[in-house]
A and B are shown apart, each in its own frame.
Chain A
Amino acid sequence: MHLPILRLGRTLIVPLPEALTDSEWQLLRDRILARVGTDRARGVVIDVSAMDVMDSYATRVLDGLARMVELRGATTVVVGVTPQVAFAMSQLGLKLGNASTALDLDEALAVLARLQRRPAHAG
């Protein structure tokens, strides 16, 4: 499976498909981490609006990825969590503690712009 990772300035944009298997999640994580280095990215926007479900595994990989991206000096913004998925995640007790969140791509870019205007925060 090929998943596109788009680049806009120093931001990587990753639109996720409807569903990913566990191994696809791992592959994707590795690819994004590699691209943060090669593209010297400051921000990673992951669009989950098409995803059917965010279960504990997906959340754990995504949150772990956000922390790894942070360690490499960039910020992760997860966008497009639908009301239904947000509800299910909160009921399950799932959190994305290491990532920022935004309603959509527009907002995510605004979040990154705001963060980058401020001095870089300590991880």
Chain B
Amino acid sequence: MRSAAEFLATAMRDVQNPETQRALRCFWEIWKQERKRLDEKVGAYMQQLPEFREALRRLTPEKMAELARSSDVALEKAFTENDWIPLLEHLSKEGRNYAQTGIPFSAWYEVISAFRNELRSVLVAIARTDLERAMLAGDGLNRYVDLSMARMGEAYLAAKETIIGRQQDAIRELSTPVLQVRDQLLIIPVVGMVDTQRARQLTESLLKAIRDRRARAVVMDITGVPIVDSRVANHLVQACEAARLMGAHVFITGISSAIAQALVTIGAELRGVPTLGDLQTGIEAAEELLGIRHVTVPAATPPPVAVPSPVPELPPTR
């Protein structure tokens, strides 16, 4: 299948052909005469489509006039001077706008069909008196619509892809929060599938957090990881080893009995990585590593009411 870009390249080469130019110019002469009426008709049609109504409402009349002017100039240049660059730029911008304002492809297609139908009835009327002219203009109409669809479609898809990419980045970022519980201690709850891409992102944010927050201990909780196969296990081991190279110890917690069974059965061990039952045990182990001891205050014997409770002495952090 040809891509929009390839299609466009062919169309642009075609535009250099004198025959094509004649057809396009013929079409333009007819369209120009009918433009005001057509624009109003198509504009009214767009107002009926809920997808467009919202976007149109956001446009100020000044902005609308400016858009119309710039498209006038671009069309004139394309059809009469055969300089298609401004028109192509205009169409790209429009395609991008549609993608960004969330107008679906189908709505946009409907508008173009409406435009084509309006012009077709004009051409049918002309055909009664001058068949040759109508045929030539019809050819020009088809070429123009194809070219603009390809260009707008290309820009539309590119803009959509950028939006999707950005959203994926955001999701990825959100899916691996790095939490600091106390000085030098980080917690990373890993939720969801861990593929190569995600593992890489996870490792990179882990390493960056170790440096930025000067962490010496990290608890990585994988309770929320549904499947841990040998690949995932390998990624986790690599992340822990990378962390260790920077001077931080990683404890993995939250390995369910099902995952433990699976790991041993497939022989994918988390070798060299300390694993602990639950998050709390993990935090305790990490705190022990950091030299933090908890002062257990017997809860059963509250201090006498009259005496203000002494401020407990904080243990040294290392």
Task: Report which A residues bind B (CB closer than 8 A).
Answer: 78-79, 81-83, 85-87, 89-91, 95-96, 100-103, 107-108, 110-111, 114
Q: Are A90 and B245 in contact (CB under 8 A)?
A: yes
Query: CB distance B318 to A87 under 8 Å?
Result: no
Q: Which residues of A contact B210 (CB under 8 A)?
A: 83, 103
Q: Which residues of B contact A87 (CB under 8 A)?
A: 203-204, 207, 242
A91 touches B245 (CB 8 A): no
Please report B residues at the A interface, Cβ cutoff 8 Å: 203-204, 207-208, 210-211, 214, 216, 238-239, 241-248, 291, 318
CB proximity of B186 to chain A, nearest CB, Å = 13
Q: Known pairs A81-B245, A103-B246, A111-B247. 10 more at Cβ < 8 A?
A: A83-B204, A83-B207, A86-B242, A90-B245, A95-B241, A101-B245, A103-B247, A107-B216, A107-B247, A108-B247
Secondary structure of the B contact surface, majority rule: helix
28 pairs from A and B in contact (CB 8 Å cutoff) = A78-B245, A81-B245, A81-B246, A83-B207, A83-B208, A83-B210, A83-B211, A83-B246, A86-B207, A86-B242, A86-B245, A86-B246, A87-B203, A87-B242, A89-B242, A89-B245, A90-B203, A90-B238, A90-B242, A90-B245, A101-B245, A101-B246, A102-B247, A103-B210, A103-B248, A107-B214, A107-B247, A110-B318
Task: Report yes or no: A103 in contact with B214, Cβ–Cβ below 8 A.
Answer: yes
> Which residues from chain B contact A81 at a C-beta distance below 8 Å?
245-247
Q: Which residue of B lies closest to A110 (CB)?
A: B318
- When distances are taken between beta carbons in the complex, the residues of chain B under 8 Å from A107 are 214, 216, 247
Cα distance A102–B248 in the bound complex, in angstroms: 7
Interface pair A101/B244, CB less than 8 Å apart: yes
Asked if A79 contacts B247 (CB within 8 A), the reply is yes
User: How many angstroms between the C-alpha atoms of A40 and B244 in the bound complex?
Assistant: 28
